[in-house]
Structure 1
């Protein structure tokens, strides 16, 4: 967990996430996702975007091993998604913090469930809270925090186990634009420090382009890959990127692709 992978090893050369003709139907004959093909290398940041009901969150849950595919092939780290549980962290749309625990105990909860001794998990939780800018709030409870602070705690909790893969299901969607922009910048700062691979669900074109090295545009009914768009903007990325012409060119490209999906619906 959290070990550095030798770039010349077979594991480093193998895609971290590989999907071939992947499909999911909760009701027979009514697929939510169909024919999803994906090969995501380690270190990439993939954003999933598309109209409501196109299966973005379903695809994220398949990658996490929370649900089973109905057809096709899906591997994470070369094996079944469920077997990669200790390699990934998941940040949900809601922070889902336990109100009776302070934020240190909330961040330490996955380590506690994994059997990590208390001194070690509390030390790790304090480190993660410091990393997300909440080092001076360790004894506070969720009810004392703003929405943005709660999401920082949720991210710290997901990173506490030093995941190789971080999955994020529209975590900033309920926040105001200024807070969202700040947390996007913070998320990329954390990625530079910890070097995890990311998959991020969003409805925001600006968020997808700012964060991602690749954007997967999905069509709906059923969800299919409409287009994969490479975002050739260098990392690290800071707030100043939003003023650059190349950033706005990518915004236009992803927006056009989304409009073509919506126009075909």
Structure 2
């Protein structure tokens, strides 16, 4: 192996170590990461610049974070590890809405991915998705007719986006769409990235019934772009940690999932 190849591999391994560390802790300082991987502060800053460009981490003065902000959603890998028990409870509740023979859309949310993991016993189903982990979850299930919605691949979201994806969604007419987003209040849902908003809106338009899957950690958050009014969704599935005032505002469209740990 050439010296250049060894150097590239060493940089990749170092950057993966940084990503793993920040994903586990949520954030870290540049000095902390330099000590972790045993390189200079300047080298770590170059690594962080690259990781931020790739959308894996969000850089701020003195360090990086994997946590979402009003303009940064967080990588797919980070979202998979967040609020697992709440997502499990929400997915189990949402599963009751899925009937054999149905056609459904699943977006690139990790809550929809959790629901996908429960679909094996429900078939036959037709499932369309733009999320690569959902495709991998469902591709071997004999009772699932899987439609892969292509487009421009986003490594940050591990999904397919852009105009080709929107056009592929627009060609469908499905029974139900299960989507999630980054933030909501009693009247509106929000997301940080306009490109994802466009795909999610197309999914809502393509479905006879739209289902919003939201864990309570997303309720205090804000995000840059308005996605859709809460009243546009036919069903809202949340966990039991949601503010009672929001539950009252949502009315009879809401299903409340009880997490194993009780209220959060």
TM-score class, shorter: 0.3 to 0.5
TM-score computed with the length of structure 1 as normaliser: 0.32
Larger relative contact order, structure 1 or 2 (CA cutoff 8 Å, min sep 6): 1
